[in-house]
Structure 1
Amino acid sequence: MAKQKIVLAYSGGLDTSVILAWLKEKYDAEIITFTADIGQKDELDGLEEKALKTGASKVYIDDLREEFAKDFIFPMFQSGALYEGQYLLGTSIARPLIAKRMVEIARAEGAFAIAHGATGKGNDQVRFELTAAALAPELEVIAPWRLDEFREQFPGRAEMIAYAEKQGIKIQASASKPYSTDRNLLHISFESGILEDPWFDPSADSNKDMFVLSVAPEDAPDQAEYVELEFEQGNCVGINGDHMDPLTVMEKLNEIGGKHGIGRVDMVENRFVGMKSRGVYETPGGTILFTAHRKMESLTMDRDVMHLRDSLISKYASLVYNGFWFAPERLALQALVTESQKNVTGVVRLKLYKGNVIGAGVKSPVSLYNPNIATMEADPTQAYNQNDATGFIRLNALRLKVASGVEQNAGK
């Protein structure tokens, strides 16, 4: 009789390596590992061989970078999403893509369940499982870190390392990096370990080796660099005159931004599960793209459309952060966002200097800015009659005057 199959999200680290062996033993099942290439670079080296040696019956390592950039990063950036005013959602936006592909593999392989190594305290468990619920409610989800028997067997890393050694699993467990990282095309995050102390300063000279994608701003070039981003309907389609697809845009902006120390964020954020956590992020390309997109909108987007979209930024960001990418409300919001972007077309020029992204010009063939109307000089178009402002102000002041009169009478 054929064994049951489980698809495991696999990184090759200590946790998922132990989970692979543990699942195979506990469920007497075939474990199919899945690793998404979403821009981790050399972190993927040797993963297939390691997974097979650890007990996987089959290994998927899929290059999802183009899909990640085109169908996830770019639509999210059109919305202006920014979680709690700082976080560009680099980890959050990757999880629904990973889970989507896991579901596809599980169905193709006839698996009864998917499994992940997210802990019971984090956001990723929610993101993986809400995606699975939306796309494949028939699949079971196995979350070992939420199982009492797993936590009793592995109360700490020492027990996991001992188990790995017993199983013949090669693990590079070291104190040289006393924090956890997560890297993809949009960013790299750092959390846990020494970063759990919010007074710890990761920007200090002694901690410079922690960062991967960017130099420290004080070590960036003393000469500013100008960069031009071309937009079509809210998406960046070119840099410095060269037409590029979304993946190439992200790779190029990461390179340019990292050189100038752009995109570092250190914040204490509110997790969906209720606790606060400290995260340090590098998002060089995303920071440039976010700034350029906003400047492009300032020239081309209708005022009330912009204000309506802006009123929904917090909601959109929370939906992404909390794992509701495939929820109907996010899809509905995306339709509004897409409509709002139809005229966000033109070129933005930015100056990059020691961690700063500075606006240096914007132009568009569909610009809503008319210098003849905005000028402080005589308006040659006569489109705006300053005398009209008198009635405009009088009508807007009416309710304020009425309210003030009521308060004065009440105080007598």
Structure 2
Amino acid sequence: MSLELDPLLFGEIDPPQRLLMGPGPVNAHPRVLRAMSADLLGQFDPEMTGYMEQVMALYRPIFGTRNRWTMLVDGTARAGIEAALVSLVRPGDTVLVVNFGRFGLLLTEILQRIGARIETVEAPWGEVVPLEAISDAIARTAPRLVATIHGDTSTTMAQPLDGFGALCRAAGALSYVDATATIGGMELAADRWDVDVVTGGLQKCLGGPSGSAPITISEAAAEQIFARRHTEAGIRMAGLVDGQGPRIGSNYFDLAMIMDYWSEKRLNHHTEATSMLYAARECARVALAEGLATRYDRHARAGRAMTAGLRAMGLTVFGDDAHRMTNVTGAHIPEGIDGEAVRRTMREAFEIEIGTAFGPLQGKVWRLGAMGYNAMRHKVLITLGALEASLRMAGFALPLGEAVPAAMAAWTDRPVQDERA
């Protein structure tokens, strides 16, 4: 019996050349793609371990830290989140989650699987949680860990973190921040914020592919992670393995083992994802060569231009302006307009992808991103022009030709002169 295979299975991968202007992933920087094509090395080759040391050094300024334990978790950004939580939290521990969107709910879901006792302090979608409310919640719940998202792409809001770590430290709690959506595009200041663990991803503001999760860990958190391993070892030696002990539920995401892998011990924990390490290294090199302050300004300009252009075409921007992420902007879908049909026109006619929304915002909001390699003025302008045309094709009456000049003015901080005047 012959097995008939689709001829397409034998063809080369040839994806469309789409401009990814949604909430992520985004188009990778060409330098990053070139770095990924470099030859592979054995995981304990001195050249390879040298690259690992370079990655640790490169990501310290990006996280705003001097932490020794600054490295990569092999896997998507969610791998970094899960590694942090599963290594810091034991069943029964109280964890306070600062929840203002879909990804705060993700933290809750992971913590439920661990068996944590979960408390939350929340804000409506489109707002952030005031520091005073976090302080009150810490006093009320006495958590072992306080966890938050920095920028939640589901709501396009960025949680202020100045003073956050100090609140946690004063209460004897560790602090965790998921910075997947902001690393490389908005300032991270792990040391100044006194935050214990921060994780990120490559696929947004760093302009790389999904598949590697940068992480930084304070000495206080490292001590707890290693102490927990020693406690578990003692429990196993005593034969107390009835399922009631504080055992880590994952081998792959056990940070104590991963930290040993990245240390001079070179524990044979897993085979390093070499090409992804090359990608992470090049993402950091590109960011630092540009200059972090310059890079943050570029993302702020891109977000400001996108917001101005959307408003100029008559759309209502979602959420609180005072706490908007620089790299993702939400826009309400006009009444009577099929949001998915507009997204389809953008994709099929213009080869541009913009994002839909989650939960209570699904079908009500588009999310437009401008980050990493795509946080460029011309890409913002092209996206706005395509959206204007797509809305017009969908029957939405809007002021034609206003969005692009408004975006240009917002990018440059000055009005664009009408050349006809």
TM-score, normalised with respect to structure 2: 0.30
Structure with the higher strand share, 1 or 2: 1
> Greater relative contact order (Cα 8 A, min sep 6): structure 1 or 2?
2
Q: Which has the larger radius of gyration?
A: 1
TM-score, normalised with respect to structure 1: 0.30
